[in-house]
Structure 1
Amino acid sequence: MSKLSVIAGKSSEEVSRKLSRKIKANFVKSQVRVFADGESKITLSGKISKRKSIVVQSIYPPVDTNLIQALSLISKAKETSAEVIAIIPYMGYARQDREFLPGEIVTMKVLGKLFKGAGASKIIAVDIHSMLGFKHFSIKTKNVSAIPDLVQYVKKLSLKNPLVVSPDQGGKERAKEFAKELGSEFIALEKKRDRKTGKVKIKTKNLDEVENRDLILVDDMISTGGSIVKATQFLKKQKCKKVYVACTHALLMNDAEKRIKKAGVTKIISANTIPGKTSIVDISNTIAKAIK
């Protein structure tokens, strides 16, 4: 019997399977039955290791359901395993890492207590929205980047004089890292978001450097796609060639994918932290290295 087991949460089955092969671990599958009132009943099938278990569960919508399932899987693993590592490819609630407006609850602080209470000794996330969120955890934490994996895919596209673009100043470091891996230049647009309405405006004026170039808009996550749509519309006016979007987490809520394509994006490339049509970049290798 393997000294390791990978317990696959329903939200991350594909990544879990690939990971279990890479680290030669027992694969433990989850069967989930959701009752009419929304409650989840989880049944596991497979051998749980006495030494170490790795629970893999992304916390994307339905966020609260996937969070409860993650905590339940960790708790069950802890009954058998001496050590439980939680792999959360997409960490929901990571945007709630501080009190932006008076009275707001810092939900990441609550998550820190929940993961510890459930029995996790370490958490590994992929491109967490803000590292500040992990400051609220008293257990070991690690963040790994999907950028090298995304860049490998982009390199195969044979782009014309590519330029990496961040849709805002907050993503400047990510764009810089992406450009360095790709061996290209980067720029960051300036945007303004209304904290109350969530509306986005691009403040950057004319850009000469995008003309006749293929662009890669880089972001950590795309939820409704508002920032990407605004950035694409602005960049298209600057006479760029093709616009690609590369992100780790493609939530693509409502009809975000349709609106992004309509704005003029040629292709959306995302990691399989969240399964979907655009999730063409596998990050199981990156996670396997982080475990070792």
Structure 2
Amino acid sequence: MLQALSIISQVRKISSRTYAIIPYMGYARQDKQFLSREVITMSVVAKMLQSAGAKKVIVVDIHSNTALNHFNIPTENISAIPELAKYFKKLNLKNPLVVSPDAGGSSRSKKFASLLKSDFIVLKKHRDRKTGRVNIQTTKADVQGKDLIIVDDMISTGGSVIKAAQFLKKQKCKRVFVACTHGLLVGDAEKKIRKAGVSRIISTNTIPGNTSKVDVSGILAKSVQ
């Protein structure tokens, strides 16, 4: 972040149109105070970017749209869902079913499903804010014999995806795929996700890695034309 702020500060000396393109805005996960005395990191970051001289901030599939409310300059949140859907169309899956691991991602999964012309379901999830432990509260899902695509904006430790995959496997689905925009895959997250029964993990190159098969440079370029 310090490097980005330094570049913005220097560029604004020669241009009045300084756009900060931040494909993965990690600080958006702390866009409000969840527990007492927590710092709202997103608010701090927004102030720093504006003070450095950014006139507009462009992000990709930000974790929470609420995070953008901390800015007093124009912002744009670009969706990588169409690009991810294009990739999965090439896999020629038969009658795939799209799965949202929680209610918060339902609109994202609905859009993905519409592009694939498939149905989608939403699981009910609970996360303990103090321990980070995730539990799937859905008790039954009609997924037997189907190929499933779990769609999420990001995967960090993989807790949500692992719990969702384990639950879906118990419901006797066929194969489980995962599609996400930001594949952080901290530590041995990728290994744990595969162990939970996931066949393939596909992410974009907002965070380069083994799973980043979808390029978002094109949609970012269009946003500044």
TM-score (norm 2): 0.98
SS of the residue 1:187 aligns to: strand
SS of the residue 2:28 aligns to: coil
Match of 2:159 in 1: 226
Identity of aligned residues (%): 62
Match of 1:269 in 2: 202
Q: Is 2:20 aligned against 1:99?
A: no
List per-residue Cα deviations over 1:162-192 (Å, max 9, x = no partner): 0000111111111111101111000010111
Runs of at least 4 residues off by over 3 Å = none
Q: Is 2:58 aligned against 1:124?
A: yes
CA distance in 1, matches of 2:140, 2:109: 20
SS of the residue 1:93 aligns to: helix
Deviation of 1:284 (Å) = 1.0
Q: Which amino acid aligns with 1:172?
A: S
Q: Is 2:90 aligned against 1:156?
A: yes
CA distance in 2, matches of 1:289, 1:143: 13
Q: Which amino acid aligns with 1:91?
A: M
CA distance in 1, matches of 2:18, 2:2: 16
CA distance in 1, matches of 2:197, 2:94: 17
CA distance in 1, matches of 2:207, 2:79: 15
Q: Is 2:11 aligned against 1:77?
A: yes
Match of 1:283 in 2: 216
User: RMSD over aligned Cα, in angstroms?
Assistant: 0.8
Which structure has the highest strand share of the two?
A: 1
SS of the residue 1:83 aligns to: coil
CA distance in 2, matches of 1:90, 1:116: 18
Gaps of 5+ in 2: none
Q: Where does 1:43-62 land on structure 2 (aligned, <5 Å)?
A: none
CA distance in 2, matches of 1:146, 1:179: 14
Q: Which amino acid aligns with 2:71?
A: F
Q: Is 2:176 aligned against 1:240?
A: no
SS of the residue 1:275 aligns to: coil
Deviation of 1:102 (Å) = 2.0
Deviation of 1:80 (Å) = 2.1
Q: Which amino acid aligns with 1:241?
A: K
Count of aligned positions: 225
Q: Is 2:35 aligned against 1:112?
A: no
Rg larger for: 1
CA distance in 1, matches of 2:199, 2:130: 31
CA distance in 1, matches of 2:123, 2:40: 28
Match of 1:61 in 2: none
Match of 2:103 in 1: 169
CA distance in 1, matches of 2:32, 2:77: 18
Deviation of 1:111 (Å) = 1.1
CA distance in 1, matches of 2:3, 2:198: 35
The one of 130, 144, 165 equivalent to 1:196 is 130
The one of 246, 250, 260 equivalent to 2:193 is 260
Q: Which amino acid aligns with 1:261?
A: R
List per-residue Cα deviations over 1:78-110 (Å, max 9, x = no partner): 222222111000002101111112211111111
CA distance in 2, matches of 1:255, 1:149: 26
